[in-house]
Amino acid sequence: MKPSGPIDTFQPIADRPAPVQTVGPVAWMRENLFSGIGNSLVTLGIIAFLVYYIPPILDWAFFSANWSGTTEDACVKDGACWVFINAWSYQFFYGTYPLEEVWRINLMLVLLLIVIAMSFTLPKHYRMKASIAAWLALPLVGMAILYGGWGGLEVVSTDLWGGFTLNVFMAAASIIVAFPFSFLWALGRRSQMPFIRSVSVIFIEFFRGVPVLSLFFMGSVMLPLFFAEGTNVDKLIRVWLVLIFFMSGYMAEVFRGGFAAVPSGQYEAADSVGLSYWQKILLIILPQVIKISMPNILATFVMLFKNTTFLLIIGIPEVVQTLQTALANSYWLGGHALEGYLFVFLVFWASCFGMSVLSRRIERTLNTDKRD
């Protein structure tokens, strides 16, 4: 039955711009900094604090700082002695790796960057496979290049490795190797089989519950007891193993969260399509778990990366250990601890900041799956 008589026609209302007072810097300041008396007082207090403290800091770090020269004697002004950093920069980055072989470390860093870039830019239909292969190959290739002993490359024994690049290498090499293991531990923890489940739980909880420092001591002191007598496993390899175990314990929990976040309908759909258990896990569940866990994986990596400075406790010459050596050097006794630690602080901060930018970028690429 159709209605008779006149019918209202639809009258669209034209769009209007948003009310003006919420836009613009003045409005922003009024709203966020001076919205009330209390708020204004806090703002003014902070400004006064900054005005009082910033200039001396700037003066120390830049205007009265010593920039040029090569020795302690060049530091005549009151400010920071950046000459110290400059003079030791090679050791801070590369440890005691021989100068004529240092291209190998640089090559390694370039490879790392290439693999990162690959993971974003390769054509989509083989990106996943190619980048997983490249990442898994990276620690072995890196080890081979840095250690040498093949194809005319001189052997550079691991006690010469050091500096910041060692921190980078140890962190990257352990998280990459830990990745597949942690995935298996997480699967094991979800397993229906009590034996597999308990072994996984014990492993994960052990490595999460024990301080990493004590793990390093165990790696350097106790682990050799487990190896057959006469075999002398390199100290660096031993702590590498420790880092791998430590990381896979942590990341297993990250992955477990990812597994729990994949809706059960995904498992059921995969089952009803007829996929086998491993096809289901690898083709359907794992990609979604990685995507969900990406922010936590990177957070865990940042934690591990910073924890590599603890390696100094067992005498591995990573960057902080190198800094302490430099501070104790008899030619540089002018007390440059502040500059040195500030430098380490900045290098780590810059890398970690870079990684969190990268991680946001990764999240965005993963999310475009839905839009684009």
Residue 270 structure tokens:
């995969």
Interaction between residue 283 and another protein (CB under 8 A): yes
Interaction between residue 371 and another protein (CB under 8 A): yes
Q: Residue 16 or residue 124: which is nearer to another protein going by CB?
A: 124
Interaction between residue 276 and another protein (CB under 8 A): yes
Interaction between residue 274 and another protein (CB under 8 A): yes
Interaction between residue 126 and another protein (CB under 8 A): no
Q: Residue 269 or residue 338: which is nearer to another protein going by CB?
A: 269
CA dist., res. 241 & res. 211, Å (int):
15
Interaction between residue 120 and another protein (CB under 8 A): no
Q: In sequence order, which residues have a C-beta less than 8 Å from that of residue 76 and are 6 or more positions away?
A: 66
Report how far apart, in Å, the C-alpha atoms of 111 and of each of 7, 106, 134, 215, 334 are.
71, 9, 10, 30, 39
Q: Which stretch binds another protein (CB under 8 A): 29-37, 59-67, 107-115, 280-288?
A: 280-288
Interaction between residue 369 and another protein (CB under 8 A): yes
Among residues 273, 338, 350, 358, the one that binds another protein under rule CB under 8 A? 273
Write down the least CB distance from residue 288 to another protein, Å. 6
Helix (H, G, I), strand (E, B) or coil at 95: strand
Interaction between residue 362 and another protein (CB under 8 A): no
CA dist., res. 185 & res. 174, Å (int):
16
Residue 89 structure tokens:
């920069």
Write down the least CB distance from residue 137 to another protein, Å. 24
Write down the least CB distance from residue 128 to another protein, Å. 10
Q: Residue 201 or residue 262: which is nearer to another protein going by CB?
A: 262
Site size toward another protein (CB under 8 A) is 21
Write down the least CB distance from residue 167 to another protein, Å. 34
H or E stretch including 258? Answer: helix 235-261
Q: Read off φ and ψ for residue 78, nearest 5 degrees.
A: -70, -20
> Within 285-314, which residues bind another protein (CB under 8 A)?
287-288, 291
Among residues 115, 186, 284, 294, the one that binds another protein under rule CB under 8 A? 284
Q: Residue 112 or residue 290: which is nearer to another protein going by CB?
A: 290
Write down the least CB distance from residue 178 to another protein, Å. 23
Interaction between residue 272 and another protein (CB under 8 A): yes
Interaction between residue 19 and another protein (CB under 8 A): no
Q: Residue 16 or residue 370: which is nearer to another protein going by CB?
A: 370
Among residues 45, 271, 331, 335, the one that binds another protein under rule CB under 8 A? 271
> Within 241-270, which residues bind another protein (CB under 8 A)?
263, 265-266, 268-270
Which chain residues interact with another protein by CB under 8 A?
263, 265-266, 268-276, 279, 283-284, 287-288, 291, 369-371
